[in-house]
Amino acid sequence: MPYAHRPVLLAEVLHFLEPQPGEIFVDATVGGGGHSAAILPRLLPGGRLIGLDRDAEAINAARESLAPFGAAVELILANFKDLVRVLQSRGFRAVDGLLFDLGVSSYQLDNPERGFSYQAEAPLDMRMGREQELTAATIVNTWPESKLAQIIWEYGEERWARRIAAFIAAARQKAPITTTTQLVDIIKAAIPAGARRSGHHPAKRTFQALRIAINGELDALQAAMEQLEQVLNPGGRVGVISFHSLEDRIVKRTFQRLSGQCTCPPGLPVCICGRRRVLEPVTRKPVTPAATEIAANPRARSAKLRVARRVLKEKDGE
């Protein structure tokens, strides 16, 4: 199927990240190249964009859509958790702009064979990078019931996590669970009818939890956030678009910590926590899509954008 992905919060990304001619930008989740296609003209002349993605199909789609920009763009099959290593291997010490558009893409959701969607019949897969071995089927059929309950609770924030895990464990004793629809039916059976009548699709949180666990999404995000100080030039901007509270919490706490917020107990005569000011917030609170964007693209409704800037001087940010 064609790789179609509508970039979320595009106008806001351009406004807050302010790409300028001659700058070096990284789109750490290039997808089909939607954000990159809008950023690149603002980097010219003289600028470059490095696009990363762990999905080979995304890289191929971006290569086609960004071909008009020629040598101004370089696309790399890589996980953004390896950001510093990948950039250094290409001769880049630091960059002026960095964008993360987290979560699963519309293409991955809409392509049945990828197994991300609870709306279509598909093999239980959910791998963002097909080179890895771990799949949703492996987790669902082989992980202990207690571990299943843990990830569904922690990564899906699902109140019925223990019950869902118990139903999965019982079902797999009879036959392997191999398709998305099989799993959806088990989840629906596990959640009481009254709880299924309101809110999101009953399988949404469990599918989110499995996807996060399979792809190590939160660990990768935390690893990337730890590299911001090293990878951003003075004055460089970083923007992160998240789609659920677990992602946003990691970004928020990282930005707070790197902004030098003192964590000493109240009443101490001097600061002893040693926090350094590396970032300053550009957005004081998360930026969310306008009603018009949500109407045109309902999947944008949960998006949150946070942006911060690398300070020029650690003490005063000037």
* Residues in binding site for S-adenosyl-L-methionine: 33-35, 53, 80, 101, 108
Hey, what amino acid is at 230?
A: Q
Instruction: Judge whether 279 and 317 are in contact, CB under 8 Å.
Output: no
Closest CA to 207 of 245, 250, 151: 151
User: In DSSP terms, which residues pair with 281 in a beta bridge?
Assistant: 308
Give the DSSP letter string of the chain. Answer: -----PPTTHHHHHHHH---TT-EEEETT-TTSHHHHHHHHHHTTT-EEEEEES-HHHHHHHHHHTGGGGGGEEEEE--GGGHHHHHHHTT-S-EEEEEEE-S--HHHHH-GGG---SSS--BS---SSTTS---HHHHHHHS-HHHHHHHHHHHH--TTHHHHHHHHHHHHHHS---BHHHHHHHHHHHS-HHHHTSSS-TTHHHHHHHHHHHHTHHHHHHHHHTTHHHHEEEEEEEEEEESSHHHHHHHHHHHHHHTT---SPTT-SS--S-----EEESSSS-B---HHHHHH-GGGTT-EEEEEEE-SSTTT--
Question: Which structure tokens are listed for 26?
Answer: 């990284």
Annotated binding site: 33-35, 53, 80, 101, 108
SS3 annotation, 13-31: HHHHHCCCCCCEEEECCCC
